[in-house]
Structure 1
Amino acid sequence: MSAVNVTNVTVLDNPQMFINPLQFEISYECLTPLEDDLEWKLTYVGSAEDEKYDQVLDSVLVGPISIGKYRFIFQADPPKPEKIPEEDIIGVTVLLLTCSYMGQEFLRVGYYVSNDYIDEQLREEPPAKVIIDKVQRNILSENPRVTKFPIVFNPTPAPAAPLPPLVESNVPMIQ
């Protein structure tokens, strides 16, 4: 059983212009106290051909966490278009929201993202160079791909080393 159960992720302000921040409302419950922070990370896949174009948009540490229900808004800057191949800006890509504990990823929520011009004429006759402030981002939030990974949340500490045996001496005890 997982120590953290994500109960809902809502994409806010969607669709939105490509150059605007991304926002997610994340709700989760903690079923056992966690000594360390949860790391939430948002990654934009810049190209299906090469992961070197992936951009970590932001990451946030939350914790330590007691038993209970939690909700927060995770906001990240948009991807930098200059780090995306020009031919991959318009079209469909992927956005990954992940959560890790002590360096172990235990949740990945993947969304398809459709980027296209808001202007019909630009869609029909795209310019040679992308006009980024005319591109709209639509996160297809209805069907996220959720993957859960089993991890050890609170590893049991190693048993303490046994104490050395008491050394008996002939020193009298003080009374």
Structure 2
Amino acid sequence: MSVVSLLGVNVVNNPAKFLDKYQLEITFELLEPLSKDLEWKLTYVGSATSSDYDQELDSLFVGPIPVGINKFVFEADPPNVAKLLPSEVLGVTVVLLTCAYDGREFVRVGYYVSHEYDSPELAESPPSKPIYERIVRNMLTEKPRVTRFAIKWDSEESAPALYPPEQPGVDDLEDDADQYGADEAEREEALEDEEEVEAQGEDVEMGGADSSHPILIDEGSESEDLEAESSGESDEEGDDEADEMDAEMGDAEMGDAPSAPKPMQV
């Protein structure tokens, strides 16, 4: 179970100018005391095809944190325009809000962000070099995409299971290597007998094949699985970039924050 539960994120200044700071009001609940601070980060995804253009806008350590509901405002600078691809400034991109404890990320919230000019003239005929002062940023806050990760907190008991459980006394059991070898020998002998019988049957059928026993070709289960996995893919090429953004953002939607007592200010 997660020690920290994210209850809600409110984008304070939305819509805003492209060069304005990001302001996010974050509400979360701490279920038990933690010995270290929480690290929050805001990342701007500069390209749908390469992570080389991602920019960490800002990071903030929050702590010590009292048990209960807490709220704070996270401010982050806009992206460095010198590191952006001019061809990918306008349109839709993604901003990622993440939180980690002791270097281990446990929640990620992704928002689609729309960028467009503030006048119809510039929108219809955008210049080759973006005019950032005239671009408006609009974060689509209705349905953020949330991904949660199980991590180890302060205690070893909180660590997620990575290996099969220990089996005390398993090494004291009788070695079954001899029995295993005997079983293998029996299987090989049975296979040889079966192949010999099949070979004799083939010699008989060569004289006149019986059409009532058609030959079945096993195409393998992998092809069916691949078709099942690909059945939800879009047929439009324009969806590829959105799919890659979805992969970074996660695959769950953050529901409405539950009602709670008055939050404590950090």
Match of 2:66 in 1: 66
Q: Which structure has the highest strand share of the two?
A: 1
Alignment of 1:3-152 (within 5 A): 3-152=3-152
Q: Distance in 2 between matches of 1:54 and 1:128?
A: 22
Match of 1:155 in 2: 155
The amino acid across from 1:35 in the alignment is: S
Specify the structure having the higher radius of gyration (Cα).
2
User: Cα distance, 1:67 vs. partner?
Assistant: 1.1
User: Cα distance, 1:66 vs. partner?
Assistant: 2.9
TM-superposition CA deviations, 1:104-159 (whole Å, max 9, x none): 100000000000101111001111211110000101011100110011111339xx
TM-superposition CA deviations, 1:23-69 (whole Å, max 9, x none): 00000110010000100000000111111110000000011323111
TM-superposition CA deviations, 1:57-103 (whole Å, max 9, x none): 00000113231111000000101111110001111100000000011
Count, aligned residues: 157
Corresponding residue SS for 2:88: helix
Segments of 4+ moved more than 2 angstroms: none
Give the TM-score, by structure 2 length: 0.58
Give the TM-score, by structure 1 length: 0.87
Root-mean-square deviation (CA), in Å? 1.1
Q: Which structure has the highest helix share of the two?
A: 2
Structure 1, unpaired ranges of 5+? 158-175
Q: Is the 8 A contact 1:35 1:65 kept in 2?
A: no
Q: Distance in 1 between matches of 2:80 and 2:93?
A: 14
